[in-house]
Amino acid sequence: MHRTPRVLVAAAAAACTTLLLAACASGGESLADEPEGASTSVAQREDLPSGPVLDRIQNDGELVVGMPEDLKGFAFLDPISGEYTGFEADLASMLAEYLLGEASVRHVTVTADTRESLLQNGTVDVVLSTYQITEPRLEKIDFAGPHMELGTALISTPDWDGEIATADDLAGLKVITTAGAAADYLGTAAPDATPVVFDSLSACIQALKDGRGDVFLNNTAVAIGLVADDDELVLAGSFDAALFGIGTSKEDPAFTEVVNDFLEQIEADGQWEQAWDRNVGVITGEPAPTPPAVGTLFLD
Whether the pLDDT of residue 265 is over 60: the answer is yes
CA distance to 23, 190, 199, per residue, from 113 (Å):
30, 22, 7
pLDDT at position 271 is: 97
Q: What is the side-by-side order of every strand in the sheet holding 126-132?
A: 22-24, 30-32, 103-109, 63-67, 126-132, 234-248, 142-156, 215-219, 174-178, 194-198
pLDDT at position 283 is: 85
Instruction: Quickly state the pLDDT bin for 298 (edges 50, 70, 90).
Output: low
The residue that leads in pLDDT, 287 or 38, is: 287
Percent of all residues in the chain with a pLDDT value above 90, rounded to a whole number: 65
Whether the pLDDT of residue 130 is over 80: the answer is yes
pTM: 0.74
Q: Which of 225, 201, 226, 204 is nearest to 215 (CA)?
A: 204
Averaged pLDDT for residues 262-282: 96
The alpha carbon of residue 21 and the mean position of all alpha carbons in its chain are separated, in whole angstroms, by 20
State pLDDT tens for residues 33-78: 433 333 334 444 567 888 999 999 999 999 999 999 988 899 999 9
Distance CA 143, CA 248 (A): 5
SS3 content of the chain, % helix, strand, coil (to 5): 30, 25, 45
Whether the pLDDT of residue 168 is over 60: the answer is yes
Q: Are 128 and 144 in contact (CB under 8 A)?
A: no
Whether the pLDDT of residue 246 is over 60: the answer is yes
State pLDDT tens for residues 170-213: 999 999 999 988 999 999 999 999 999 999 888 999 999 999 99
Q: At CB < 8 A and 24+ separation, what contacts does 80-87 make?
A: 82/9, 82/11, 82/22, 82/24, 82/30, 83/11, 83/12, 83/13, 83/21, 83/22, 83/24, 84/11, 84/12, 84/13, 84/22, 85/13, 85/279, 86/13, 86/225, 86/279, 87/275, 87/276, 87/279, 87/280
Distance CA 224, CA 228 (A): 6
Distance CA 292, CA 273 (A): 12
pLDDT at position 112 is: 85
Q: How many CB atoms lie within 10 A of CB 250?
A: 13
Residue 6 gets which letter from DSSP?
P
Averaged pLDDT for residues 19-27: 34
Instruction: Quickly state the pLDDT bin for 108 (edges 50, 70, 90).
Output: very high
pLDDT at position 226 is: 87
Q: Where are the alpha helices (DSSP H) in the chain?
A: 52-60, 87-100, 115-120, 135-138, 181-189, 201-209, 220-227, 253-268, 271-276, 282-284
Instruction: Point out the least confidently predicted range of 124-138, 209-223, 229-243.
Output: 229-243
Distance CA 115, CA 210 (A): 28
pLDDT at position 3 is: 52
* pLDDT averaged over every residue in the chain: 85
pLDDT at position 284 is: 83
Whether the pLDDT of residue 5 is over 80: the answer is no
Averaged pLDDT for residues 274-292: 92
pLDDT at position 33 is: 40
Whether the pLDDT of residue 19 is over 50: the answer is no
The number of helices, as runs of H, and strands, as runs of E, in the chain is 10, 13
Whether the pLDDT of residue 13 is over 50: the answer is no
Whether the pLDDT of residue 141 is over 60: the answer is yes
